[in-house]
Amino acid sequence: MKLARKFTLALVLLAVAVIAGLQVIQVRRELERSALDMQHDHQLLGHTLAGAIGKAWQLAGEREALTILNQSNSYQGQVHLRWVWLDGGPGTPSLVGFPPRLLATLRQGKDGSMVDPSPDPGLLHSYTPVFIGRGQRFGAIEITESLGEERQHVFVTVVGTIVATGTITFAFFIAAMAMGRKLVGEPVDELVQLANRFGQGDLTARVRLPTRRRGDEITMLANAMNRMGEQLEETRSRLSSETVARLSAVEHLRHADRLTTVGKLASGVAHELGTPLNVVMGRSKMISSGEAEGEEVGECARIISQQAQHMTGIIRQLLDFARRRAPHRAPEDVRELVDRSLSLLKPMASKKSITLVDDVPPGVMLEADGGQVQQVLTNLVMNALQAMNKPGTVRIHATRTRATPPTDVGGAESSYVRVDVEDEGGGIPPDVLGHVFEPFFTTKDVGEGTGLGLSVSYGLVRDHGGWIAVRSELGRGSCFSIYLPSGGDTCQAAS
């Protein structure tokens, strides 16, 4: 039910209650007045006859007195008169059922009355006491009148009251509906429409109320909602610009981390290019000096071409890793991602006599941005190499699993691709383990690390709807586990 209708209904109910209460009081007063008027008329008639009957009884006797009573009875249309002895002497009727209190009142010389409900619609008996012969005998003039006319009067009064109450209520209801609609309904509808437009994203919407309403609560609410719209519009504009700036900063940070990794890979790549360059130089000297003749010239040219293609491939792979590009999710083979990452890190691993083991079964697919996942894998493997101060093995393993995300990620149990990067380094101390993903946190010496690698990696994985877990044991190495959703729908929802 709308607010205006509720407001109108409440006012109408209140008005009906007040009017009905006043009408009930008025009806009761009218009925009491009618009863008092009837009793007063009986008293006047009774006292008039009592004086005449008492005088006639003294002068002419009982028969003459009762004759006056009977003659008076013939002139009354609505009442019936009769003489009643009440002293228990000759002619006294049975007083069984006669109210003792009424009898005592009459004996004191006071008028009295009672209602006999047995004959419908009831009878009113009024008694005027008369003492005969200086109080030797005691009787009363009984005046009886039917209550039918009074009942009819009650009915007419009640019906009139109901009709009047209904008419007043209907008129009040129409007036209240009109006023409620004008004063409450229409302004509230405008405020609701304004709230709906806010909810749909239209923060430029405003509500305008008539100036004559200035100062009331609804106008204050409308002005507050208009100010809220202005503030929300300003806040959305500010958040939009801040979000663009934040995303740009995050992308710059990730690209900077990628370039930092490229710088660390440069020395290994340079060493990797040394061998094919020596082959190219040697074969070119053989051709220029004339040492190679005939078919050997063609063989030297083929070898030079192969080595040049090999060097071009190494340089292109490094440049592809360093190039900035927009995130793009697509089906990726986890094994190919691991192979591309390890091929860049093999020269660095060879320098430290560390073996990189690819333990990824074929056919493990996920929908992700291959460049971002490769950046995560490269960062984790590079950290593993830096954590090992002696020859050993870094193992990369991938499998499908069902897991429940941690509380900071949230979500129900689902299917994930888990990639483990396990090293044989010295492990991470317990007091450091909880801070490894914090930005700019590092335990390396100055100039050896920025403290961004793990933080950037965690952010990239979270953007894919996953997370990175770590377990470590001092003296036995560490294992970083990447959890990435295996389904495309999950990735899209997470982004």
Q: What is the secondary structure of 247-265 as a DSSP string?
A: HHHHHHHHHHHHHHHHHHH
pLDDT band at 255 (very low <50, low <70, confident <90, very high): low
pLDDT category at 356 given cuts 50, 70, 90 is very high
Compute the average pLDDT of residues 452-456: 74
Strand boundaries in 110-259, DSSP class E: 112-116, 123-132, 137-146
Going by pLDDT thresholds of 50, 70 and 90, the confidence category of residue 279 is low
Compute the mean pLDDT over every residue in the chain, rounded to the nearest whole number.
79
> What is the spatial distance between Cα 282 and Cα 284, in angstroms, rounded to a whole number?
5
User: What per-residue confidence (pLDDT) applies to 274?
Assistant: 60
Q: Which residues contact 200 (CB under 8 A, 6 or more apart)?
A: none
pLDDT at 495: 35
- How many beta carbons lie within 10 A of that of residue 440, not counting itself? 9
Tell me the average pLDDT across 317-343.
75
- Does the domain at 3-158 match CATH 3.30.450? Answer given as yes
Residue with tokens 């220029």: 288
Pairing between strand 354-359 and 392-403?
parallel
- Domain 331-495: give its CATH architecture: 2-Layer Sandwich (3.30)
CB 86 within 8 A of CB 138: yes
How far is Cα 314 from Cα 348, in angstroms, rounded to an integer? 14
Cα–Cα nearest to 471, from 434, 418, 438, 416: 434
Half-sphere exposure of 438 (CA within 13 A, CB side): 8
What pLDDT is attached to residue 489?
44
- Return d(Cα 316, Cα 323) in angstroms, integer: 10
**Does residue 321 carry a pLDDT above 50?**
yes
The pLDDT of residue 325? 57
Q: How confident is the model at residue 494 (pLDDT cuts 50, 70, 90)?
A: very low
Q: Does 228-324 carry CATH code 1.10.287.130? A: yes
Rounded CA gap, 343 and 331, in Å?
Answer: 21
Write the pLDDT tens digit of every residue in 459-477.
888 888 899 999 998 888 9
Q: What is the pLDDT of residue 483?
A: 94
Q: Is the pLDDT of residue 447 over 90?
A: no
Cα→Cα distances 432→6, 257, 427, 450, Å: 64, 21, 10, 16
pLDDT band at 262, cuts 50/70/90? low
Distance CA 302, CA 286 (A): 13
Residues 6 or more apart in contact with residue 364 via CB below 8 angstroms: 333, 334, 335, 398, 399, 400, 417
pLDDT of residue 207: 78
CA dist 261 and 353 (Å) reads 20
Most confident region among 165-169, 397-401, 459-463 by mean pLDDT:
397-401
Q: Where are the domains of the chain?
A: 3-158, 228-324, 331-495
Q: What pLDDT, on a 0 to 100 scale, did the predictor assign at position 266? A: 61
Q: Is the pLDDT of residue 491 over 50?
A: no
Mean pLDDT calculated for residue range 174-185: 75
Q: What is the mean pLDDT of residues 384-410?
A: 89
Amino acid at 48: T
Question: Quick one: pLDDT at residue 244?
Answer: 80
10 or 80, higher pLDDT: 80
Q: Output Rg (C-alpha) for the chain, integer angstroms.
A: 56
What pLDDT was estimated at residue 135? Answer: 63
Nearest alpha-carbon partner for 303 in 318, 288, 287: 287
Are the C-beta atoms of residues 157 and 27 closer than 8 Å to each other?
yes
pLDDT of residue 271: 53
Measured at the CA of 155, the angle between CA 151 and CA 161, to 5 degrees, comes to 140
Q: Find the mean pLDDT for residues 183-188.
A: 73
Return the number of other C-beta atoms located less than 10 Å from residue 364's C-beta.
19
Evaluate if residue 484 carries a pLDDT over 90.
yes
Asked if pLDDT for residue 159 goes beyond 80, the answer is: yes
| pLDDT reading at 4 higher than 90 | no
Average pLDDT over residues 394-412: 89
The answer to whether residue 314 scores a pLDDT higher than 70 is no
- Residue 278 Cα distances to 65, 79, 283, 287, 316, angstroms: 165, 148, 9, 14, 20
At 398 the pLDDT is 93
pLDDT of residue 394: 93
pLDDT digits (tens, 9 = 90+) for 47-71: 888 888 888 888 888 888 888 888 8
pLDDT computed for residue 493 by the predictor? 38
Predicted confidence at residue 351, as pLDDT, reads 83
Tell me the pLDDT tens digit for each residue of 109-138. 888 888 888 877 788 889 999 888 766 778
Integer Cα distance of 241 and 254 in angstroms: 20
Write the pLDDT tens digit of every residue in 364-376.
999 888 888 888 8
Residue among 163, 165, 188, 177 at smallest CA distance from 9: 177
* Separation CA 183–CA 137 (nearest Å): 79
